[in-house]
Chains A and B, each alone.
Chain A
Amino acid sequence: MKLRTIHIYGFGKFENKTFENFSPNLQVIYGDNEAGKSTIMSFIRCMLFGFPTKGQSEYRYVPKTHSKYGGKLIVELEDGEIIQIERTYGKATGDVTVQFSDGTIGGEETLGELLGGLDRQTFQNIFSCDLTGLQNLENINEEMLNRYLFEAGTTGGSGLSHVEQELDKKLSELFKPSGRKPTLNQQLFELEKVKERLEDWKQKNETYNNLLGQKGKIKLELEELYTDKKNYEAEKHLLEKKKQLLPLVNEQKSLEHQLKELPSYAPFPEDGVQRLEKWKSQIVLLKGEWNELKNRCSNIDREIEDLDLNENLLNNGGKVEALKERESMVQNKKEALRSYKTEINTLEEKINRSIGKLGEEWSEEDLLETDTSFAAKEQLKELLSSKVKLEQRKEFLDHSLMKAREELEEAEQEGNQLREDLLSDQEYSEKEEAVQKWDSVKNREERIHVLTREIQLEELNRSSGGKKESSFLPMYLLIGFGVISISFLFLSGEWIFAAVTMFLLVLGSLLFYKASQQNPSVDSGADLKALDRKREELTRLKSIHHKDEDNLEQDARNALYLLELHEKASFQYGHAKERIKRLARNYDQEAEKYDEWEIEYHTNENKLMAWIHSYRFPVSFPSASLIEGFELIERAKEEIKQRDHMIKKAGVLEEYLAKEENELKELCDQFAIVYRGTDVSLAMLWQKYQGELDKRKQLEYLSERRRDVMESLGTVEQKISTCQSAIEELLDEAACSDEDSFRLKGNTREGAIKLQQQLTLIKHQMRMSGYSGEFIKSIASSENQTQQEIDLQVANVKTKLTQLTEREKEMNRLAAENNHKMESLLEGENYVDALHEYHQSQSRFQQGAYEWAVYAVAKDMLGRAKSNYQQERLPIVLEKAEEYFSYITEGKYTRLYQPAGDRGFTIERMDGIVFSPKELSRGTREQLYLSIRLALAGSFSKKYPILLDDLLVNFDRLRSSQTRRLIQKVSEEHQVLFFTCHPYNLDSFEKEELLHLV
């Protein structure tokens, strides 16, 4: 890769600057300080590896004066293709575009590919260095050197160390020799388990054949056992039959023998012995009974003796019973007596109280003598009630008399008063005159008025014809007036005036009527005359007019008023007088009545006194309490009578009771009972009597029993004799003299019968056993075999059989077990399952193992390749460096040894002395590092441009010119950009190689 053109859009101090036509070999860039040499170097680095990010320490050269940041490089690749790398400001390290000659475009990735994985650090260390960079090599050790070497050898891809790490990781994930977690370790663990199971199953399978053999053997043995068993069973059966029959046969023989041996046993009555025994036992029983009865009889006799009955008491039983019977009655009587006595006391007290009330002078005799008959009482009551009534009437009479007197006095007073109000006679006539005067005046005026009216009407009638009515008018008026006057007079009590007026009125009216009756007959001429008369009259009347007419009226009025009053008073006065007369008469009557009462009262008093005397009441006795006292006496008399009656009754009772007691006492004495009062003694007597009664009953009962027992004794004795005669009969029948021989004979007969029965039974059993006669005979004939012998034989056979059965059981059990085992082996897919599982697991493990193997081999190969590479390449690089170093120092230093471990390089001088880099002078040291660097750069498969920044400062003239020559030589294969600010460095370079920065 060679740089051809640099185009800066904006970077540091440069803006839109282009440096063209760089030499493909050596390009010297000369400029003073601040001309931009370092800027260009940084620019190249940035173009290739990106702008430093803000976090990095490297200076970013962001333009200060303008905004466009970045630029592009035009580069020639190894194969001669020209490409363009442009990087502008963008995210992080900037936006990069790689443009190929055929127009294809790439980005950061493509650039990375072009740089073959070279990173900024390595580029800076190997290809782009200044003095400080050179010094960095001072501490180089083996590892670092190797790293450079491998980086030089790898083009792209992950770093070697990364690859190694990945391999290690994978390997340890898969397997660790003593691990547990890694995949293969786990699988191995499982695999072993499966394997174990499989082995288990294999083992089991092997047992199958054994089991099969076993099975055959068992079967065979079982068959044998079966046959043996069958034989033994048959034998056992036979023996058992024998055993069963043998005793029967023996028995038969023995029985027959016994029968022969027996003495004679006939004649003998049927069941003779039993019958004898029956009678005998009967007698024994009866004798026992007889004794028992005898015994009982004597007991009863003794008991009767012991009773000791009191006949006397029993004979007096009637009395005792009577006493007992009356006991409650006596008791009642006692009770009654007590209550009588109480009552007597009470009455006595009452009598005393009554006497106390009546007075001390009274005695019981007095009381009894007093007449308290019903008639007396009624008489007293009547007298007393009369007295009361009279007293009441007196009160009434007093009152009426007083009232009459009061009324009379009052009326007299009133009359006097009224008389005073009357006018004197003179006064009265004066007043009457005044009134008459006024009346005449008034009549005249009335006439005037009437005449005026008549005249008017007459005149009117003349013109109209009608005048009847007008002639009546004055009459009417007169009547009206009269009526009014009369009524008025009546009302005011002026009777006389009224009557006068009425008379006048009636008179006037009659006259007037007569006059009017004659009128119609008068013709008009007459009328005119009357009229004129009237007019005359009127005129005359009018002329009579008194001057004092007004005074007259006044006087008349007063007089009239007074007259009225007088009239009224005189009327009242008349009334009053009348009344007084009446009241006076009344008073006299009342006084008369009072006198009558007085006479009546005295008569009554006298009668009462007479009663008291006649009935022996003390005179002092208040009449008001007479009735009460009378009743008291009455009651007291009653009480006395009652008491006396009671005393009499009590006497009767006492007498009776004494009689009873005497009787009781008598009985007690007679039967030796200490008398302790009626109740107790009677009870004791009664008890004793009852006891005797019981004894008598007992005696009767015992006598009865004794009779029964004596009867039973007779019966028993009879039975005994019956039994004895029956026994005699039996003995006779058997021709035996005594009972013993009878019995012996009887027993013998019994035995014979039994034997015969047994014999029959055995014969029957043998018949029923189902064995043939011959078989039975054979047993009977073989007398040598005993029961025990057969038993022994049977026992032997049984033991054999038990053994065989046990064996059979065991064999069957074994067979079952065997079969079960075999079945489980056949059935179980377990072995197959385990087998398949094992192979699955193994396959998986094997596959894992293969995977591991790939990584393991890869790792191994990588390791080997690395060491091969080092061994092959390092010497080449060292040789190159040695060559360069030797050239620069003009052969002063001849050898360069590679670092080992932490030890750095060692250098051998031409004289053979060995130095470490630190021991060299600064310039020489720098020359050494430059040589190594150039050698390393040369070892890279890709020839990146080498940037050298004024490295020759510390070199002497000779060595610097040697260096320049070396650089020139190197640049023939590898483009070198040589930056310098020292003009002397330019001497040895061609003009066209120079770029002068201004």
Chain B
Amino acid sequence: MTMSKLTFIHTADLHLDSPFKGLHSLPSSIYERMKESTFHSLHNIVSLAVEKKVDFVLIAGDLFHSEERSLRAQIKLHNELIRLKDHHIDCFIIHGNHDPLDGYWVNLEWPENVHIFGEETSFKPYYKNGKLMAHLYGFSYPTKRVTDNRTQEYVKKEGPDFHIGMLHGNVQGASDHEAYAPFKVEQLLEKQFDYWALGHIHKRQVLTSEPPILYPGNIQGLSKKETGEKGCYLVELEKKRTRLTFQNTAEIIWKKVEVPIDGLTSFSELYSCCEEVIEGIRSDHYGVMATLMFTGSGTMDDFLQNDQEIEDLIVSLRDGEERKKDFIWIAEWKVETNPDWDREELKHSELFAGDIVRLSEQYEDKDIDEALNPLFHHRRARHFISKLSTSEKQELIRDAEKLLLNSLLKERT
């Protein structure tokens, strides 16, 4: 008897045709690539599946970005699934909070190699060469909001060698994500499955490796926060050992890089420093959306405090990138250099600036709301402004304080 083995790809959070956050004023060539990037990544995943002759592909929810999924996304997905079918690769799909069953759906006829879980938790058998190889368990979100723990619905049905759970939900403790279908790792471990294909959290993370319980992350970074390589896991599952290989499939990667200004004394030095940093992250395989962080301290700090000057710098750094395949596009920059003043000292000084520091420490959320009211609660504007998160609010206060101290304490020029 040969050792039973399954080879499959685990992916999730395709967010096909999802728009990007925090991007604007892109040159058209890059904009077009960004628009296509989720599809490219999916295509690469399918190509990988074909190339590796996997048994099946698991997609653990959030295939689309919202309940109002675009037709194009559905058709492209459909085409990719057909490709899998052409290579006799099955595909198991659950839907998540971003593409629940009640969402807008085109009645596309999925090819027969595609198995979609319904809203009730159930299992589906997988046969390889006529032999039952695995049971796959899972459910799709009937609506957007599934906030209860559904782990007890997963009931192991004996039979095949392998049992694989698919779950789109939030592992307890992950604060940044909305708590959909929450679960605890222990609860999953109790099930004694051979693999847990999770979805929902965009950041790739392996919760446990024995058995593998993991988030493959999304397949394409969608904002500056989703940095680093994105793709899928190629899983070779055996009873005795399991091999997990992460494969980047994204063609555009978000990166955050630091530009320390220490010791820089002129614009040209600053410029070459930036160039050096940029060239350091250039890759043959993908384009990069970069966030530049100016850090350290030095004489170029003054320069960086001037919005116009810094914007000119960025424009010249961007120049020509739109024509490169391996572009580095500076999507954002942040001046995080150390100020001249000692904040702690100021806090205890009797100077007016001290009052500012002291005040900013006591500045409350309601103060912010009050200050931002004219725009953030503006009849028309409010629809387009998302609420500030706690961390954003903190950042806002720091930025405002910095602005004030800069104005008050910097020498007159």
Contact = CB atoms under 8 A, between A and B. Distances in A.
Given A206-B104, A844-B24, A857-B371, A154 B353 contact: yes
B367 interface: yes
A835 B384 contact: no
Contacts of B75: 826
B206 interface: no
A847 B24 contact: yes
Given A156-B409, A838-B19, A941 B24 contact: no
Interface in B371-410: 371-372, 374-376, 378, 380-381, 383-386, 388, 396-397, 399-401, 403-404, 407-410
Contacts of B34: 836
B378 A163 contact: no
B141 to A, nearest CB: 20
Interface of A: 109, 112-113, 117, 150, 153-158, 160, 163, 166, 175, 177, 184, 188, 191-192, 195, 202, 205-206, 208-209, 212-213, 825-826, 829, 831-833, 835-836, 838-847, 849-850, 852-862, 864-866, 868-869, 872, 941
Given A157-B412, A831-B70, A832-B70, A192 B359 contact: no
A153 B35 CA distance: 54
Contacts of B368: 853, 857
B72 A153 contact: no
Contacts of A856: 371-372, 374-375
A843 B408 contact: no
A832 B371 contact: no
Given A188-B384, A854-B399, 19 more contacts: A109-B411, A154-B351, A154-B353, A155-B351, A157-B409, A208-B106, A213-B107, A832-B72, A839-B20, A841-B24, A845-B384, A846-B386, A847-B22, A849-B381, A856-B371, A856-B372, A860-B371, A869-B355, A941-B350
Q: Is the interface of A mostly helix, strand, loop or mixed?
A: helix
A156 B349 CA distance: 14
B106 A209 contact: yes
Contact of B363 (A192, A835, A861): A861
Contacts of A113: 411
A175 B356 contact: no
18 contacts: A109-B411, A154-B351, A157-B407, A157-B410, A158-B407, A160-B352, A177-B375, A184-B381, A202-B68, A209-B107, A213-B107, A849-B381, A854-B399, A856-B371, A857-B396, A860-B400, A866-B352, A869-B355
B21 interface: yes
Give the most central of A157, A191, A833: most B CB within 10 Å. Answer: A157
Contact of A153 (B351, B381, B384, B397): B351
B316 interface: no
Nearest to B383: A195
A536 to B, nearest CB: 179
Interface in B82-106: 104-106
A155 B345 CA distance: 14
A158 B408 contact: yes
Interface residues of B, number: 61
The 7 closest A-B pairs by CB, nearest first: A839-B19, A844-B24, A860-B371, A857-B400, A153-B352, A858-B400, A157-B408
Contact of B376 (A205, A849, A860, A868): A849
Interface in B335-366: 349-353, 355-356, 359-360, 363
B23 interface: yes
A117 B412 contact: yes
Nearest to A164: B407
Contact of B352 (A150, A838, A852, A854): A150
Nearest to A844: B24
A191 B22 CA distance: 14
Contacts of A117: 412
A843 B355 contact: no
Given A155-B351, A847-B22, A191 B408 contact: no
B251 interface: no
A963 to B, nearest CB: 27
B349 to A, nearest CB: 7
B71 interface: yes
Given A209-B107, A865-B352, A853 B372 contact: yes
A7 B228 CA distance: 67
B281 interface: no
A154 B352 contact: yes
A854 B35 contact: no
Contacts of A213: 107
B359 A861 contact: yes
B400 A849 contact: no
Contact of B412 (A158, A842, A844): A158
A351 B26 CA distance: 146
A188 B355 CA distance: 36
B370 interface: yes
B268 interface: no
Given A184-B381, A838-B19, A205 B104 contact: yes
Contacts of A825: 71
Contact of B375 (A157, A175, A835): A175
